[in-house]
Structure formats: structure tokens, C-alpha cells
Amino acid sequence: MNIEEIREYCLAKPAVTESFPFDEVTLVFKVMNKMFALVSLDGDLSINLKCDPEKAIFLRDQYPSVTPGYHMNKKHWNSILVNSFISEKILNEWIDHSYNLVVSSLPRKLQLEIQSCGK
């Protein structure tokens, strides 16, 4: 995947916004103002995604391109080097997982608002 494909995939999800809150090379995707993906536009394409802690460890063991989240809580975030070793399908599943984790942590009222956006 390239940056445009990642961007389009993230923005297609309900209630997602994008911004550059930290610098001009870190594109951040949020759902209801909560981060679920950070993409580095500097150097090799990489993405930070929120992840269930047990799954995060499993993915790091299975994929050399997956490491503890760079500049993030390493228990809950993974950094993924986007390369030919990670298929588009798998990366999309990981983006979905991150998005769903964040949505599930939101108050019920916001979850219902997101559901109504997606219809």
C-alpha cells in the first residue's frame, strides 16, 4: 500500500478526520478526536496502529516489519513498516482493529453517533 491508499482507507471509515497536530510529516487519523493511526511521511512509509496488548506481542513475533510503537505506549501501539512483506489485506485488518479498539473505548453516546454516520 502507498500513502494515498492508506489515507483513502482510513477516511472511508465513519467519523474519521485527518490532521498534522505534531509536525508536517506525521499524518494523524482520529475518530471522535481519538487517534487510531499515525502515518510517517518522512523516510520509509510506516504507520502506528493501536492494538490489543496480547495481539501486539503476537504480531511482533510473527512479522519482522512490526515493532513496538515508536514514540507511543509500547504496550498498546505497534509501528508497522509498510513494505512488500505486509499485504494490503492484512494492513487493512490491522487498521480496522485499531479503529474498532478506539471506537469501543468511546462513551456509548459517541458510538451511537458513529453508527449513524456509517449508514
Low-confidence residues of the chain: pLDDT under 70: 84, 118-119
Q: Which of 77, 75, 86 is nearest to 44 (CA)?
A: 86
Residues 6+ apart with CB under 8 A from 83: 44, 45, 65
What lies within 8 Å, CB to CB, of 90 at 6+ separation is: none
- Encode pLDDT of 41-67 as tens digits: 988 899 999 999 999 999 999 999 999
d(CA 72, CA 56): 13
**Which domains, ranges and CATH numbers included, belong to the chain?**
3-117 (3.90.1150.30)
